[in-house]
Chain A
Amino acid sequence: MNVELTELTRKFGRTRAVAGVTLEAGPGVFGLLGPNGAGKTSLLRMMATVLPPTSGTLRLLGRDPGSYGPRREIRRRLGYLPQSLGYYPGFTVAEFVEYFALLKDMPPGRVPRAVAAAIEHVGLGDRARAKLRTLSGGMLRRVGIAQAIVNEPELLLLDEPTAGLDPEQRVAFRALLREFGKRATVIVSTHLVEDVAAACTEVTLMDAGRLVFHGTPGELIAQGEGHGVGDAPLERGYSAVLAAARS
């Protein structure tokens, strides 16, 4: 398993952002759905090794991120796009992606080609020399995705990756996710159920820090048949599961 979580809990003061989550995941694309405050971002941050769990066990890529050496090896194979992407306005697209390739300790000889490939993957090849301050929000998001995939990660964590992308880019991005999902574990936190329907092989629904559903998109759709609220089948499944969890 690339991801093994056992009773993983994270508290912020008295608030339990993540409450005893147990999850295993190998290669594939996993959609992480849930309302605001469900704990998706905290869960992703723990898997990104930037937030230590309060309790429970976490193993990523067969290693324990609690120890420094294994944590370094996990990070070497990790791609992470946080919910709010910070950036350096004076960097060009290529420099920003290269900067993270260097921080990820990629072999120097591989860096230029990997940077160019990552930028092409997100459709910014013609803007590689543009300063980040000149890019739109959607383009910045794509730069964030490029830095996440530059090291060809085995574990790719994406928090709201399609926010700000136009429909055409979202279609291209879903194709990218599917491609990565063939060889890596991709966990995508999103509000957009159509992304899940189009790209994810499995979907996990969180509410109040807990996992309340896990299955295929088809199984989630089945949950909403007849009594869910929403315009799309997946939305009806989503609302039905949440209603059941809260009742």
Chain B
Amino acid sequence: MTVTSLTARPAPAPAPRVAPRNLARLLWVELRHNAMPLVLPLIAVLFWFDSYRIAATLPPLWVVRLYYILGQGHALIDFAPFVAGVAAWMGSRDGRRGMGDLVTATVRPRWEAQLATWAATAIWAVGAYLVVMAVTLALLGRSVAWGGPPWWPVAADAVGIAAFASLGFTLGACFPSRFIAPMAAFGGLFAMAISSQTGFSASGGWALILPTMSNGNFGQDAGIFYQWLPDLPIDRVIFAAGVAVAAAGLLGLRPAAGGLRLRHCAAVVTVTGAAASVAAVVLAFTAQLGPYGVVIPALHDAASDRPVRYTPACGHAGIPVCLQPAYRPYLPDVTAALRPLIGEVAGLPGAPVRASQVAAVFAGGPGVQIGPASVGQILTLSGSPPALYMPLGAMALPNSFGADTAGFIDQIKVEAVHTLVTSGGAYGNPAQQAVEAALLQKAGIPPADQPSAMSTTPWPLMGGGPRSAAKYPPAIAAAARRFAALPTATRHAWLAAHLAALRAGHLTLAQLP
């Protein structure tokens, strides 16, 4: 049946393109009506409880406090599930609300309109993260004596949040239902849980790309003695940005997304994002553990290897004691630990004439796995005249995960005596153990407490050592009591005559006075 009616009009000329201003306005409308702000208070509370509350109790060093928040990925764990869930809710909005036909029948390609909603969601999520981190850094920084926070790990987390927003949004847009938001949130939580578990156990390779992979990531003295190495965070930024872009591109591949050209463009975006993510994983496989952290040759800047300049903070414990200024809060503890010991050995040949802090570094190199086993140094005595070198960053600082000031002071005493008497990493022979026990007793650690004080020492377990036996063998304990009971002048004179032979392991228990 054919119907004719009234007059036909000539087709009007195409309207001028007005995209940018309209897009900005569209984004503004989406920002005003985004669901993300509704969950931000919840995220903030969770972040305070899970991340900030604990980090604030840790030693006042950027590297320690941010290792917990950024290195172990707690910030991302707090944000990601909620961000993924809300993003899925926003992505599924048109489908849930039955807006498909209405939106499709408009001029703007569906992909463009969806990208505006996605951008608003990501802006809220990333913006909230940046604000939370800014406040956190400001609060944490109040008690930090020296240095500044690392920015690349913050950026890596921010881009990671954008990636979760993108994944959640695309999931919601592709499978719109009221259940998609909790499913996406659970998926985000599950992904972070897997990432956490793998991050703690894996030792390198692809797992380095995981946001919760902390092994080799935060050098113990990064930002203090040496620069924060940005290689791994940059790689993670590339990976997360690739995921975010690829997920956003996927939205544009659907037939309803727009015209053929636009879908081709979406395909290019998707492939580019995926390629970036794959490239980042490939780069992670090339990572090596250097002394200051993970080095990725293709991303490494030699400027990052320059040492950090500083003016040491010094005190006196019978000898000058100098620390990196970031460790200034620990100067009283260090001098308190060294003073009684220096009092016992001052003037002896081979005794230190000064004590200086040195950097705690990763014992890396080709073939060395990236993992906690490669961490750990002790106090050393070297040079002429001898100096005591203290890698405090490798020690359990007060308030770090259960450690206290008394334990920290005892640890310094134990390591200082150990390096003075044995000059090595392993337990000494019985004569060395006995002298060590006597000196520790004079330095304020009773024999009964010494096995406990040694429990955190990194030198290896050996049969007969107090650490493994929980007490000294009777012969060593008796010799230690005898040596400690000597008058100070006698003990000092004997050490002056025999310290070199004792350190070389040439003396037996019977040769002790």
- Residue among B98, B105, B113 with the highest chain A CB neighbour number at 10 A: B105
Q: Which residue of A lies closest to B15 (CB)?
A: A76
- Is A103 touching B261 in the complex (CB atoms < 8 A)? no
Q: Which residue of chain A has its CB nearest to the CB of B35? A: A90
A204 vs B1: C-alpha distance when bound (angstroms): 10
Q: Which of B2-10, B339-347, B375-383 contacts A (4 or more CB under 8 A)?
A: B2-10
Q: Of A62, A107, A147, which one neighbours B102 at CB under 8 angstroms?
A: A147
- The distance from the CB of B321 to the nearest CB of chain A, in whole angstroms, is 63
Contact A50 B101 (CB under 8 A): yes
A100 to B21, CA, bound (A): 15
Against A, the Cβ 8 Å flags (1 = close, 0 = not) of B30-56 are 001100000000000000000000000
Q: Which residues of A contact B102 (CB under 8 A)?
A: 80, 82, 85-86, 100, 147
Is B99 at the interface (CB under 8 A from chain A)? yes
In the bound complex, residues from chain B placing their C-beta under 8 Å from that of A188 are none
Does chain B have a CB within 8 A of A12? Answer: no
B463 CB contacts on chain A under 8 angstroms: none
The docked-state distance in angstroms from the alpha carbon of A91 to that of B94 is: 13
Are B11 and A22 neighbours in the complex by a CB distance under 8 Å? no
A10-49 residues with Cβ-Cβ distance < 8 A to B are: 21-28, 30, 45, 48-49
Given A26-B7, A50-B101, A202-B5, A104–B18 Cβ distance below 8 Å?
no
Asked if A105 and B107 make an inter-chain contact with CB atoms under 8 angstroms apart, the answer reads yes
- The residues of A that contact B258 with a CB separation of less than 8 Å are 68
Q: Which residue in B10, B19, B25, B33 is a CB contact (below 8 Å) of A91?
A: B33
Report the Cα distance A95→B25, complex, angstroms.
11
Interface SS, A side? mixed
* Interface bits A73-94 vs B (CB < 8 Å: 1, else 0): 1011110101011111011000
Alpha-carbon distance between A207 and B93 when the two chains are bound, in angstroms: 35
Q: Which of A23, A26, A68 is B8 in contact with, Cβ under 8 Å?
A: A26
A26 with B105: in contact, given A98-B29, A105-B18 (CB under 8 Å)? no
Contact of B14 with A by CB under 8 A: yes
Interface string of B235-272 (1 = CB under 8 A from A): 00000000000000000000000111110000000000
Given A1-B8, A25-B3, A68-B261, decide whether A82 and B26 contact each other with a Cβ distance below 8 A.
no
Specify which chain B residues have a CB less than 8 angstroms from the CB of A211 in the assembled complex.
Answer: 1
Contact present for A103 and B9 (CB under 8 Å): no
A202/B93 in contact, CB under 8 A:
no
Q: Does B108 contact A (CB under 8 A)?
A: yes
The interface residues of chain B lying within 8 Å CB-to-CB of A85 are 98, 102
Give the complex CA separation of A220 and B261 in angstroms.
47
- Given A88-B93, A91-B33, A105-B18, A28-B101 contact (CB < 8 Å): no
Are B26 and A102 in touch, CB under 8 angstroms?
yes
Query: Which range contains the number of A residues in contact with the other chain?
Result: 35 or more
The interface residues of chain A lying within 8 Å CB-to-CB of B29 are 95, 98-99, 102
Are A105 and B6 touching (Cβ within 8 A)?
no
Residue A72 interfacial (CB < 8 Å): yes
Known interface pairs A23-B2, A102-B22. Does A107 touch B8 (Cβ–Cβ under 8 Å)? Answer: no
Hey, what's the 0/1 contact readout for A57-68 against B, CB within 8 Å counting as 1?
Answer: 000011100001
Contact (Cβ within 8 A) B105 A78: yes
Instruction: Across the interface, name the chain A residue whose C-beta is closest to B112.
Output: A103
Chain B: interface secondary structure? loop
- Interface residue B104 (Cβ < 8 Å from any Cβ of A): yes
In the complex, chain A residues 162-206 whose Cβ is within 8 Å of any chain B Cβ = 201-202, 204
Q: Does B106 contact A (CB under 8 A)?
A: yes
Residues facing A in B290-327 (CB within 8 A) are: none
CB < 8 Å: which of B3, B22, B93 contacts A105?
B22
Q: Kindly provide the distance from the CB of B74 to the nearest chain A CB, expressed in whole angstroms.
A: 32
Contact B14 A73 (CB under 8 A): yes
Q: Is A116 an interface residue (CB 8 A)?
A: no
Given contacts A87-B97, A105-B18, contact A49 B105 (CB under 8 A): yes
Enumerate chain A residues within 8 angstroms of B97, measured Cβ to Cβ: 86-88
Q: Is A226 an interface residue (CB 8 A)?
A: no
Contact check: which of A26, A68, A102, A214 meets B260 at CB < 8 Å? A68
What residues of A have a CB within 8 angstroms of the CB of B3 in the complex?
Answer: 23-25, 202, 204, 214
Nearest CB of chain A from residue B21's CB, rounded to whole Å: 4
Choose among A2, A71, A99, A108 the residue that contacts B9 (Cβ–Cβ < 8 A): A2
Cα–Cα distance between A80 and B4 once the two chains are bound (Å): 22
A28 to B259, CA, bound (A): 31
Residue in A2, A68, A73 whose beta carbon sits within 8 Å of that of B259 in the complex: A68
A30 to B11, CA, bound (A): 21
Interface pair A27/B6, CB less than 8 Å apart: yes
Determine the distance from Cα of A90 to Cα of B34 in the docked complex, in whole angstroms: 9
> CB-CB < 8 A to A147: which residues of B?
102
User: Does the CB pair B5–A105 fall under 8 Å?
Assistant: no
B8–chain A nearest beta-carbon distance, Å: 5
A78 to B103, CA, bound (A): 12
Task: Report how far A86 CA is from B94 CA in the complex, Å.
Answer: 8
Specify the chain B residue showing the minimal Cβ separation from A107.
B18
- Are A26 and B101 in contact (CB-based, < 8 A)? no
Identity of the chain A residue whose Cβ is nearest the Cβ of B8 in the assembled complex: A1
Closest to B20 in A: A108
**With A and B bound together, what is the CA distance between A45 and B262 in angstroms?**
23
**New A-B contacts (15) at CB < 8 Å, excluding given A77-B12, A78-B105, A86-B102:** A26-B7, A27-B9, A61-B11, A62-B11, A69-B259, A71-B259, A75-B106, A85-B98, A86-B97, A102-B22, A102-B26, A105-B15, A108-B18, A154-B12, A204-B3
Residue numbers of B with Cβ under 8 A of A are 1-12, 14-19, 21-22, 25-26, 29, 32-33, 93-94, 97-108, 113, 258-262
13 pairs, CB–CB < 8 Å, chain A vs chain B: A23-B1, A26-B8, A49-B104, A49-B105, A76-B15, A78-B105, A80-B102, A82-B102, A91-B33, A102-B26, A102-B29, A104-B108, A154-B12
Residues of A whose CB lies within 8 Å of any CB of B are 1-2, 21-28, 30, 45, 48-50, 61-63, 68-69, 71-73, 75-78, 80, 82, 84-88, 90-91, 95, 98-100, 102-108, 111, 147, 154, 201-202, 204, 211, 213-214
